[in-house]
């Protein structure tokens, strides 16, 4: 029985017209930028690709890797996914909209 199932799965995958590699498991997220992040990147949003099962804190890791001066905001930045505040360990899904919210002031 298991050979039949294996054969059916192999046949199904072979008809997908693309290899089953880790790149097929990447997710793309849109990052909305505010305040210091928007100023540092000079834009209001960017899109990044990450491996599946990546926590939202990886967005900030990537930004601070590219722009080390942003690391000072790491401990005070909050995260949002799809209009909801989330913990830094929340796993992102494909096509999520991520928001980095540093402290802001104004009047």
Contact 54, 26 (CB under 8 A): no
pLDDT tens-digit map of 44-81? 999 999 999 999 999 999 999 999 999 999 999 999 99
One-letter-per-residue 3-state SS of 79-104: EEECCEEECCCCECCCCCEEEEECCC
**Half-sphere CA count of 35, side-chain side, radius 13 A:** 14
Residues 6+ apart with CB under 8 A from 80: 86, 98, 99, 101
The pLDDT score that the predictor gives to residue 19 is 43
pLDDT tens-digit map of 12-41? 444 444 444 445 689 999 999 999 999 999
Whole-model pTM? 0.73
């Amino acid at each position: 029985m298991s050979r039949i199932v294996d054969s059916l799965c192999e046949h199904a995958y072979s008809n997908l017209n693309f290899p089953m590699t880790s790149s097929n498991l990447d997710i793309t997220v849109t990052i909305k930028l505010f305040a210091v992040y928007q100023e540092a990147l000079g834009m209001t949003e960017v899109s990044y690709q990450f491996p599946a099962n990546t926590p939202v804190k990886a967005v900030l890791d990537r930004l601070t890797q590219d722009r080390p001066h942003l690391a000072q905001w790491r401990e005070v930045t909050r995260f949002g996914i799809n209009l909801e505040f989330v913990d830094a360990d929340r796993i992102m899904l494909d096509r999520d909209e991520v928001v980095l919210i540093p402290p802001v002031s104004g009047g």
